[in-house]
């Protein structure tokens, strides 16, 4: 892969990680958070999606969700196994974040594939994706821990990805602006993690 092509592929990878994948994650966790209001509240919230025509929903899912996630995930794995980290040589905060970004990305490929299998594919096979389904899934302590870890990996990956996006796209160029971005994105990580974890625990 030429340097020029790699530059544009990485830009596309970075952009898709924010729009639409990042926006979808925020929407998805916010929708799941309605479970904290009880079973009926959650079922009514996700039931709104049933009002969308099936053919239109499929187009939106593939164009806005599946294809961007597939590209971002697969190219992200390529980056993870080809990028060089300086963690052993320097051990700086940003090198640690670089390493965690790659680890969380590889884990998320596995987690998202499993989550889609347990929900979307099961729905295609005739199962109801509702409060009871999620309740049964997280009734297994191992699956509950797996989902909590998946949520934390996703929220961290997005938050740190936003920081990287701001730098790589030239939005935060100075050290002071990058430091501010670090604080803002970490606060975002904590808040979104609280929403996500509270949502999954609501099914317990």
- Binding site for heme: residue ranges? 28, 72, 115, 157
* Rounded Cα gap, residues 183 and 74, in angstroms: 29
Closest residue by Cα to residue 185 from 169, 164, 170: 164
The binding site comprises 28, 72, 115, 157
Q: Match 């990485």 to its residue by tokens.
A: 10
Structure tokens at 193: 């993690």
Closest residue by Cα to residue 192 from 30, 20, 6, 3: 30
* Rounded Cα gap, residues 200 and 204, in angstroms: 7
């Amino acid at each position: 892969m030429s340097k020029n092509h790699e530059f544009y592929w990485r830009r596309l990878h970075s952009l898709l990680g924010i729009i639409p994948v990042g926006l979808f994650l925020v929407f998805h966790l916010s929708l799941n958070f309605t479970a904290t209001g009880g079973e009926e509240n959650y079922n009514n919230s996700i039931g709104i999606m049933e009002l969308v025509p099936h053919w239109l929903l499929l187009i939106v899912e593939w164009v806005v969700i599946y294809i961007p996630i597939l590209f971002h995930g697969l190219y992200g794995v390529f980056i993870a196994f080809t990028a060089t980290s300086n963690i052993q040589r320097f051990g700086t905060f940003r090198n640690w974040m670089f390493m965690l970004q790659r680890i969380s990305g590889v884990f998320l490929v596995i987690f998202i594939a499993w989550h889609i299998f347990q929900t979307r594919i099961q729905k295609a096979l005739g199962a109801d994706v509702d409060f009871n389904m999620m309740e049964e899934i997280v009734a297994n302590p191992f699956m509950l821990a797996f989902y909590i870890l998946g949520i934390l990996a996703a929220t961290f990956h997005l938050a740190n990805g936003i920081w990287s996006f701001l730098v790589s796209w030239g939005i935060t160029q100075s050290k002071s602006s990058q430091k501010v971005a670090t604080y803002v994105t970490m606060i975002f990580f904590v808040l979104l993690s609280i929403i996500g974890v509270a949502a999954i625990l609501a099914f317990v």
